[in-house]
Structure formats: C-alpha cells, structure tokens
Amino acid sequence: MSRKSQIKRATSESSIELSIDLDGSGKSDISTSVPFFDHLLTAFAKHSLVDLTVKATGDTHIDVHHTVEDTAIVLGQAIREALGNKSGISRYGDATVPLDEALARAVVDVSGRPYLVHTGEPAGFEFHLIGGHFTGSMVRHVFEAITLNAGITVHLEVLAGRDPHHIAEAEFKAFARAFRKAVEPDPRVVGIPSTKGAL
C-alpha cells in the first residue's frame, strides 16, 4: 500500500507544492524561501525517514509568517492523507534528542485527535530571530499547524538549552524520531490500533 501524498495550496499570501512518502529514506528537496525553515524541514525528513519535497513562495517581504504557517498546514494535510486509515501502524512514538546543550523530548500519538502540548522553551525564545529572519515563536506555530491538520497528538518539551538554533533544531529532530516510530508499520498490529476500531 502506497503511503504518499501530494498537495498544492495557493492563496494571496503563499503558494505551496508539497509531496511526502512516509515509507521513504529521508531524502528531501526543500525550498521555502525561508532558509532556517528549510533547515528544520530537512532535519525532519532526514530523521523521520520520510521523503519530502517542498516548493513554497510567499510574501516574505512582509514577514516569513504566512509562508511558514501555510507550509506547515499543507505538511499536516499531506501527513493525514498519506496515513490513510492508519491500519497496521504502531500509533505511538517517543524520542529524546540532544543537540549540544539543548535537549528535547517528543511523544506522538496518531490518534485522529489534534492536540499539542508544548512546554519548556526558555523565556525570550519566542522573540529571538534565528538566522536573522525566523522568529522563535514560529516553532510552536509550526507544530500547532501540523498537529491540527494531521490529526495527531504531540507532546513536545524542551528539557534544556541555551542557543535558540540548537533548541529549535532539537525540537524538530525529537518530533521527527517520535513521528517515525508512530507511523511505522508494526507486523503484530492487525487492522486499526484502537479499541474503537478507528483513528
């Protein structure tokens, strides 16, 4: 069964073309016109082992917000579509990932219920311009958009960290590793991994 999705989305603020293969090898081709976001999405693909292609443009002369948010929305939609009925998946995944002084923990439930618990970023992180263009507040916003549109539950906690670049990247890598485990087929799972019979 193919677990792939390809989605296009165009508004007056951005234009997004995105494809994902949940059973890939971590290959990526990312161009969002927001360099640090490209870096984070490349890390997500590499460590989740999904193949991910993103071509996005938008009104970044105003702010990166619209392009980043819209890309995250489409990524969430593509994840939901690629998962199909979720038959045979592990459903749950967790990971704790360091990046030098930073440490992040993520727990993912492919539950069909969108919910984000996001804690631990140090005071002032949300105001920091990472790479001179990507505001720290966008990290949480990206995860909000992904969880809402993918229909997954994510608990994401920063356990340690000083450098904003390291903190953001550790969060994405922890999410990637937990996501990888959650969507991975489990040969012992028959059908939908829920007592309700649906996710």
What pLDDT was estimated at residue 8?
97
Instruction: Note whether residue 194 is domain-resident.
Output: no
The SS3 assignment for 91 reads coil
What pLDDT was estimated at residue 28?
98
Alpha-carbon 146 to chain mean position: 6
What pLDDT was estimated at residue 132?
87
Token readout for 173 is 């890598």
pTM of the model: 0.97
What pLDDT was estimated at residue 141?
98
Instruction: Note whether residue 196 is domain-resident.
Output: no
pLDDT digits (tens, 9 = 90+) for 81-135: 999 999 999 999 999 999 999 999 999 999 999 999 999 999 999 999 998 889 9
Strand partners, 135: 129
Is residue 159 pLDDT above 90, yes or no? yes
Structural domain tally of the chain? 1
- Report the share of the chain in percent with pLDDT over 70: 99
Short-list 50, 21, 22, 52, CA closest to 37: 52
pLDDT digits (tens, 9 = 90+) for 51-86: 999 999 999 999 999 999 999 999 999 999 999 999
Instruction: Indicate the burial class of 9 (C-beta count within 10 angstroms; 0-12, 13-18, 19 or more).
Output: middle
Instruction: Note whether residue 87 is domain-resident.
Output: yes
Instruction: Note whether residue 150 is domain-resident.
Output: yes
Is residue 1 pLDDT above 90, yes or no? no
Backbone angles phi, psi at 130, to 5 degrees: -85, 125
The SS3 assignment for 166 reads helix
CATH code for the domain in which residue 36 is found? 3.30.230.40
pLDDT digits (tens, 9 = 90+) for 170-198: 999 999 999 999 999 999 999 999 999 89
What pLDDT was estimated at residue 186?
95
Q: 């970044």: which residue's tokens? A: 60
Instruction: Note whether residue 61 is domain-resident.
Output: yes
What pLDDT was estimated at residue 192?
93
The overall average pLDDT reported for the chain is 97
Instruction: Note whether residue 175 is domain-resident.
Output: yes
Short-list 183, 66, 158, CA closest to 104: 158
| Domain membership of residue 17 as a residue range | 4-183
Instruction: Note whether residue 161 is domain-resident.
Output: yes
Is residue 9 pLDDT above 90, yes or no? yes
